[in-house]
A and B are shown apart, each in its own frame.
Chain A
Amino acid sequence: MIGLGHYLVVSAALFSLGIMAVMTRKNAVNVLMGIELILNSANINLVAFSRFSSGNLDGQLYAIFVIVIAAAEAAVALAIVLSMYRIVKSVDLDRADTLKG
């Protein structure tokens, strides 16, 4: 029988992979993909707990709002990346390190 634990293991795996992507990837779009993995893992948690831990649809509604937030974040992130691309393209390709780390 597929129980709560199965779903939680999947979400833990996704969360860990998401963190790995965020830590090791250099390209901003890649990091954004990692962030989407993290948010999806949280969503799986929410829907699984909604089924097994709360007798109502609270978790599913929570997940809907998380999807909304993720979409807005991705849109703004890509807007910024595109804006940066425009600036950098007109100057020579070079590292984004004008701000001291």
Chain B
Amino acid sequence: MNINLLTQIVFYFFAGMTVLSAGVVVFSRNLIHCAFALLFTFFGVAGLYVFLGADFLAGAQVVIYVGGILVLLIFGVMLTQKLYELHLKAETFQFWPAFALTAAVFLTLITIMVRTSWHKTDLQPLDPTTARIGALFMREYVLPFEVASIFLLIALIGAAMIVRRRSE
């Protein structure tokens, strides 16, 4: 089997896994199923990153999204079991109008994706990116890096503050 065909098969596998699990996330009635489907979505996206040569990003995706955010979401789902019946969001759309709107959005986006002449550059060789990303953090991206650290500090304080028990 030549390498091209193999590449295509693996790509379609990852892409399919991503989109199908996203479908489960959106349409499933069972919240736990949604959470686990989201796991496969995140893995699928990480696979796509590897295809695009973003090795550091793929690792970060798995560690942060699956290891952090997904675990947090599952905690949230488990700890607030009874909230199935509690409608935390009063205004929702009916299913079919929302579906129609979503389909319209999807078709518009597909048209754009295919018809636009995107900015093209030469394809760089697929080198490891970690060292280069690290260097960029200290040069071109030093300001966002520092701002992100303060941002995370604030998020940490805020989240802890909201959840802690008042001693009264």
Listed in ascending order, the chain A residues whose CB lies under 8 Å from chain B are 1-2, 4-10, 12-21, 23-34, 36-37, 40, 43-44, 47-55, 57, 60-61, 63-65, 67-76, 78-85, 88-89, 93-97, 101
Docked-complex contact A72 and B38, CB < 8 angstroms: no
In the complex, the answer to whether A24 meets B92 with C-beta atoms within 8 Å is yes
Query: Contacts A27-B88, A28-B89 known; A65 to B159 CB distance under 8 Å?
Result: no
Task: Judge whether A29 and B159 touch: CB under 8 Å.
Answer: no
Taking residues whose C-beta sits less than 8 angstroms from the other chain, chain B's interface range is 35 or more
Q: Tell me whether B121 and A54 are in contact (CB under 8 A).
A: yes
B1 within 8 A of A: no
| B residues near A16, Cβ cutoff 8 Å | 102-103, 105-106, 109
Measured CB to CB, the closest approach of chain A to B107, in angstroms, equals 9
Closest 10 CB pairs of A and B: A72-B155, A8-B113, A12-B109, A16-B106, A79-B159, A28-B88, A23-B98, A53-B119, A78-B76, A79-B162
Interface hub of B45, B85, B99, B123 (most chain A Cβ within 10 A): B45
Contact across chains for B113 and A27 when beta carbons are under 8 A apart: no
> Is B121's CB under 8 angstroms from A52's CB?
yes
Q: How far is the CB of A60 from chain B (nearest CB, A)?
A: 5
